[in-house]
Amino acid sequence: MNRPKVQGWCPGALRPMMSGDGLLVRVRPRSGRLTAPQLAGIANLSLTHGNGFVDFSNRANLQIRGVTEDGHEALVEGLRQLELADGSAEAEANRNILVTPFWRSGDGALDIADELADRLSKCPGLPGKFGVAVDIGQETMLRQCSADVRIERAEDGRQLIVRADGMDRGAKTSVDTAARDATDMARWFVETGGVTQGRGRMKDHLQCADKLPRSFAPSMNPARSAAPPLPGICDLGFVAGFEFGQAHANQLKLLAQEVDAFRLTPWRLLILEGSDHAPEIDGLIVAADDVRQSVSACTGNPGCLQAAAQTRPLARQLASHVPAGRHLHVSGCAKGCAHPAATDFTLVARDVGFELVCNGKPGDRPVLKNLAPDQIAISPNMIFGAG
């Protein structure tokens, strides 16, 4: 059985990660928003220094694939000109902030995120995957997204709370104090031993740490959680996406010619700000019932060094067979980077074939083992009949 290596950190622009097709360079737009010139600039940098493919991540970031080591420095300089690179790798890593893509001007979300970025840059010792979610809409949208500290709307709809991940309730805060309180919670996490060999998550730490300080004592429930958006019209514009959350640079250049600004989402979809329709671009997913929405898949082999098999060809073959209202994820290894949460059906690649997990995560106990891709494609009901 192949055991994938857990890196314990996420790539950035200044600290890229080697993958099967070259360096993976992650671009972290502030508050998840890009202007058309920035998107076009990323596309051009991808064509010049990468292999032309760009991923949308579940952290509402972009990833430029296939970057050569010789081209990395020039790519970073290009990102600086687009105002999309941090001053240092440490500041970049600490600015792991996920903002609800449904923020509105004047609601305080961007103010909180900007202050958080400054405060977290001065917070040493945070592990590479430690993150903060700013989720202050009337309904929370990021409940299923990875975060260690959550800033949310309270259940009463008026006040804000800061909540340690793993706790059901949070402590009262405000737009003016939320960034400070979240940073104080992050410092508490570090100072009380939440980090071991550069790794650590808040939810795990709360299992063994002393009670939270009185200032963080949970007393208020968060607002109810809403379902992620689907392709189509929304209050802010039009929601669209690409198969498996990956686009070619030429597609992005066409998109930048049609729309002025974009919001990235942690569901690998884009919000085309102010648009009441989708541009006619080949490969763009614009309908909620598009069968490609029923499947997800990581990069797989050979693009990922740890994947035991190709993933996307199999996912394409199975997309039209997924039962209505259910989801299939095809993962190249047990880490489940592209979809770490539980899914109706998850096929996990192993050295000896695929394993099937039903209603679980990629690393959970499988119900079927040693499944050959050809066998699955010919008899998809062996998968969808098992759950």
What digits encode the pLDDT tens for the residues 54-68? 999 999 999 999 999
Whole-angstrom distance, CA of residue 371 vs CA of residue 308: 13
287 pLDDT tier (thresholds 50, 70, 90):
very high
Residue 200 has pLDDT above 70, yes or no: yes
pLDDT (0 to 100) of residue 238: 98
pLDDT at 180: 97
218 contacts 212 by C-beta, under 8 angstroms: yes
How confident is the model at residue 336, as a pLDDT? 85
Q: Give the pLDDT score at 337.
A: 84
pLDDT of residue 348: 96
Exposed e or buried b per residue across 351-385, where buried means at least 16 C-beta atoms within 10 angstroms of its C-beta:
eebbbbbbebbbbbebebeebebeebeeebeebbe
Q: pLDDT of 292-321, one tens digit each?
A: 999 999 999 998 988 999 999 999 999 999
Confidence at residue 161, expressed as pLDDT on a 0 to 100 scale: 98
Q: Is the pLDDT of residue 120 over 70?
A: yes
Q: Are 133 and 149 in contact (CB under 8 A)?
A: yes
What is the model's pLDDT at position 210?
75
| pLDDT interval class at 212 (50, 70, 90) | confident
Structure tokens that stand for 333 in this block: 């290894």
Confidence at residue 32, expressed as pLDDT on a 0 to 100 scale:
94
Distance between CA 178 and CA 187 in Å, rounded?
A: 14
Q: Which domains does the chain have, with CATH numbers?
A: 17-85+229-285 (3.90.480.10), 91-216 (3.30.413.10), 291-384 (3.30.413.10)
Mean pLDDT score, 79-89:
95
What is each CA distance from 214 to 159, 219, 246, 247, in whole angstroms? 19, 11, 45, 47
- Residue 13 structure tokens: 């622009």
Q: Is the pLDDT of residue 195 over 90?
A: yes
Cα separations (Å) of 182 from 87, 107, 133, 325, 330? 22, 18, 10, 36, 35
C-beta atoms surrounding 289 within 10 Å: 10
pLDDT of residue 5: 56
pLDDT at res. 128:
87
- pLDDT of 314: 96
d(CA 356, CA 338): 16
Q: What is the pLDDT of residues 355-364, one digit of tens each?
A: 999 999 999 9
Residues 167-183, mean pLDDT to the nearest whole number:
97
CB 142 within 8 A of CB 133: yes
Residue 122 has pLDDT above 60, yes or no: yes
* Cβ proximity of 326 and 359 under 8 Å: no
- Asked if the model's pLDDT at residue 109 lies above 60, the reply is yes
Rounded distance, CA 97 to CA 117, Å? Answer: 8
Q: How confident is the model at residue 226 (pLDDT cuts 50, 70, 90)?
A: very high
CA distance 162 to 218: 9
If residue 365 lies in a helix (H) or strand (E), which one and from where to where? none
Summarize pLDDT for 327-386 with one digit per residue, the tens.
999 999 998 888 888 999 999 999 989 999 999 999 999 999 999 999 999 999 999 987
* pLDDT value at residue 1: 43
Looking at residue 211, its pLDDT comes to 78
- Which stretch of 32-36, 124-128, 206-210, 225-229 has the lowest confidence by average pLDDT? 206-210
pLDDT in tens, 230-249: 999 999 999 999 999 999 99
pLDDT at 3: 56
Q: Which residues contact 263 (CB under 8 A, 6 or more apart)?
A: 32, 33, 34, 101, 236, 270, 271, 273
Backbone angles phi, psi at 279, to 5 degrees: -65, 150
The whole-number average pLDDT for the span 39-51 is 98
d(CA 189, CA 91): 18
Backbone phi and psi for residue 11, each to the nearest 5 degrees, phi listed first: -70, 160
